[in-house]
Structure formats: structure tokens, C-alpha cells
């Protein structure tokens, strides 16, 4: 497997990140959550961490505007561990920002003020707004913490935060699109459900330009995201601890590799060839062939 393929699998893009990599959409969202009224998208300086392999993750969107550093994450599965990830992200970003500064000098450096925001649209019931704190994860509790980080989680499922979804049209239409994919996926095969959601949204003017321009990519990402949500819908820390105590954790594949195996297996059952699967999942044929070999080996055991 070549390096590019490996990176694509681990850092799979999402519809959320694709939508808000566009500066016009991102400025619209920033104005909606901050109450600002900026009109020039070029004021935004996007500095999203790309291929941060050393932490086995990348952040969704981060950007600078008016000396403020905003980090946005999209989550379809609730995780209380986002403050730790934000801490890693902000450390990396500050490291980059201060690279040319004299941190050992007598003059104080100036840092952009950080804001941490989570846009949640999972199926687990959550309030409109929730504060996640780094201190909630400390094993020892104290009256005062020397290191704290607060992240605001906003529920963007339809029916929640109506004013926000109306103010940011792109976010509102994204919420409607994902709601339709979920609804139809309960009634029909996932691929058919995504096709129906895309066609309906295009016809009704929901994310029309984006879906028309990126139809196949949006379809593949939606299938990937929904399968990921469905197969990894568990709180990893608790599941790991329970499995360790019960002696059941050994030999289990977790995360995206296991999800990829299940998607490939499903497509094989539909009669798809290696080349077709590789194109659907934006993987190399070599990578798909290796997954199939692993599946065949498991069947022989």
C-alpha cells in the first residue's frame, strides 16, 4: 500500500469538512456562532492541521480571524474526550504560530485567543448546548485546576438550535441532508438511502451546488461516515475498560480498519469487483486486495 492510500484511509475527509473548507461557508458559520457580522471571507486564515500522524488524528477546521483562533470539530458519535484532543490541536497550532518568536526572551509573546467548538449530530440524545471540560477527565479532583480547557458542544440535529441552523444556511442544510440519510438508511440499503437523500436534496435546493459538483465523492463519504457511525457507536474508553476486565479485548480489530473490512465485505456480497470497490472507497486496489485476503483467511479459521 502506498503512503497516499494509507493517509486517505486514516484521515478520511467528511462532508462537514468539505463544506466548511470553503471560506464563504466558514465565515457564515463563524458569524452565526459568534454573533459577528464580517463580510469578507479573505479575513479568514485557515490553518487546519493536516495529516497529524504523530497523534493519529487531524482536526476538522481551524482558522484565525481578528486575533481569535477557532477550532471546530464535527462529531456524529458523542465523546467526552474532545477536550484532550483540542489540547493536542492547540498545542500544535501554538507551536507553529510561535515558531519564529523568542519564547525565551523578556518580552511577552502575543497569542490568538482560542475558542473550541463541537458540532454534534449523533443519535444519542444531547441538549442544545453542553460544556465539555478537560478537568472532567482528571483522575484527581481539585478546587482549582492549573490546566483547564472548555469546549462548547452544540447539537445541530434538526429540532435543536433552530436559530443557529437558520442563521447559517449551510449548516442548516447539512443537518437536513444527514437527517435524511439516517431516516432512509433505516428503511433501505445504505447506498440506496444515500442516493435518495442526494437526489431529493438537489431537487429541493438543499446543498444543491455542493452535491451537484461533488455527487460521487459526497455519496462515498456519506456511506463511509454512516458505516463508521454505525459500527463504532461506542464510547471507546469505557468499552476498552469493560473489555479488558472481561478478558475479551484481545484479538479484536477496532476503529477504521475494522470498519473498512465490513464495508468491503458488504460490497463483495453485492458482486462488486476489486477495482470498483477501490474506486468507491478511494483506496488502492492493492489495499482492497489485502483486506479481501484477510477476510478469506478469517473464513478459513
Q: Can you give the pLDDT at residue 237?
A: 45
Rounded to whole angstroms, the Cα distance separating 45 from 43 reads: 7
Averaged pLDDT for residues 8-35: 84
Convert the pLDDT of each residue in 157-180 to its tens digit.
999 999 999 999 999 999 999 999
Rounded to whole angstroms, the Cα distance separating 94 from 49 reads: 12
pLDDT value at 91 more than 50 = yes
Rounded to the nearest 5°, which phi and psi values hold at 205?
80, 20
Q: Can you give the pLDDT at residue 87?
A: 96
Map out the domains of the chain as residue ranges: 3-98+108-137+145-169, 254-301
- pLDDT greater at residue 126 or residue 233: 126
Q: Can you give the pLDDT at residue 55?
A: 43
Q: Exposure string (b/e) for 37-48, b if CB count within 10 Å is 16 or more? A: eeeeeeebeebb
Model confidence band, residue 300 (pLDDT cutoffs 50, 70, 90): low
Averaged pLDDT for residues 223-247: 59
The mean-pLDDT minimum among 47-56, 156-165, 252-261, 280-289 falls in 47-56
- pLDDT greater at residue 259 or residue 205: 205
Q: Can you give the pLDDT at residue 284?
A: 77
Q: Can you give the pLDDT at residue 230?
A: 65
The mean-pLDDT minimum among 52-66, 93-107, 160-174 falls in 52-66
Averaged pLDDT for residues 140-166: 96
Rounded to whole angstroms, the Cα distance separating 106 from 251 reads: 54
pTM comes to: 0.73
Do the bridges between strand 129-133 and strand 61-65 make them parallel or antiparallel, or are there none, so unpaired?
unpaired
Q: Can you give the pLDDT at residue 156?
A: 97
pLDDT value at 155 more than 60 = yes
Going by C-beta distance under 8 Å and a sequence separation of 6 or more, which residues neighbour residue 296? none
Question: Hey, what's the torsion of the CAs at 98, 131, 70, 94, to 10 degrees?
Answer: 10
Which pairs count as long-range contacts for 143-147, CB under 8 Å and 24+ apart, including other chains? Answer: none
Average pLDDT, the chain: 84
Secondary structure (H, E, C), the chain: CCHHHHHHHHCCCCHHHHHHCCHHHHHHHHHHHHCCCCCCHHHCEECCCCCCHHHCCCCCEEEEECCEEEEEEEECCCCCCHHHHHHHHHHHHHHHHCCCCCCCCCCCCCCCEEEEEEEECCCCCCCCEEEEEHHHHCCCCCCCCCCCCEEEEEECCCCCCHHHHHHCHHHHHHHHHHHHHHHHHCCCCHHHHHHHHHHHHHHHCCCHHHHHHCHHHHHHHHHHHHHHHHHCCCCHHHHHHHHHHHCCCCCCCCHHHHHHHHHHHHHHHCCCCHHHHHHHHCCCHHHHHHHHHHHHHHHHC
Model confidence band, residue 285 (pLDDT cutoffs 50, 70, 90): confident
- CB atoms < 10 A from the CB of 196, how many? 17
Amino acid at each position: 500500500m502506498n503512503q497516499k492510500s494509507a493517509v486517505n484511509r486514516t484521515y478520511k475527509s467528511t462532508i462537514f469538512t468539505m463544506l466548511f473548507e470553503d471560506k464563504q461557508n466558514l465565515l457564515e458559520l463563524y458569524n452565526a456562532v459568534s454573533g459577528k457580522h464580517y463580510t469578507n471571507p479573505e479575513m479568514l486564515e485557515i490553518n487546519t492541521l493536516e495529516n497529524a500522524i504523530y497523534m493519529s488524528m487531524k482536526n476538522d477546521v481551524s482558522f484565525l480571524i481578528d486575533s481569535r483562533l477557532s477550532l471546530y470539530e464535527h462529531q456524529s458519535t458523542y465523546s467526552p474526550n474532545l477536550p484532550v484532543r483540542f489540547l493536542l490541536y492547540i498545542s500544535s497550532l501554538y507551536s507553529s504560530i510561535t515558531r519564529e518568536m523568542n519564547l525565551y526572551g523578556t518580552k511577552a509573546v502575543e497569542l490568538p485567543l482560542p475558542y473550541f467548538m463541537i458540532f454534534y449530530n449523533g443519535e444519542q440524545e444531547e441538549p442544545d448546548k453542553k460544556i465539555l471540560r478537560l478537568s472532567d477527565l482528571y483522575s484527581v479532583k481539585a478546587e482549582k485546576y492549573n490546566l483547564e480547557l472548555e469546549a462548547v458542544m452544540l447539537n445541530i440535529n434538526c429540532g435543536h438550535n433552530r436559530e443557529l441552523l437558520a442563521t447559517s444556511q449551510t449548516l442548516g442544510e447539512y443537518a437536513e441532508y444527514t437527517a435524511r440519510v439516517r431516516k432512509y438508511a433505516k428503511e433501505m440499503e445504505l447506498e440506496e438511502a444515500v442516493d435518495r437523500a442526494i437526489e431529493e436534496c438537489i431537487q429541493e435546493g438543499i446543498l444543491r451546488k455542493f452535491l451537484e459538483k461533488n455527487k460521487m465523492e459526497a455519496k462515498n463519504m456519506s456511506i463511509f461516515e454512516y458505516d463508521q457511525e454505525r459500527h463504532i457507536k461506542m464510547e471507546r474508553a469505557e468499552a476498552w475498560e469493560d473489555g479488558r476486565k472481561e478478558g475479551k479485548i484481545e484479538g479484536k480489530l477496532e476503529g477504521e480498519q475494522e470498519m473498512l473490512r465490513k464495508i468491503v465485505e458488504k460490497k463483495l456480497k453485492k458482486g462488486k469487483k476489486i477495482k470498483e470497490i477501490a474506486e468507491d472507497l478511494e483506496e488502492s486496489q492493492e489495499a482492497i486486495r489485502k483486506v479481501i485476503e484477510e477476510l478469506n483467511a478469517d473464513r478459513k479459521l
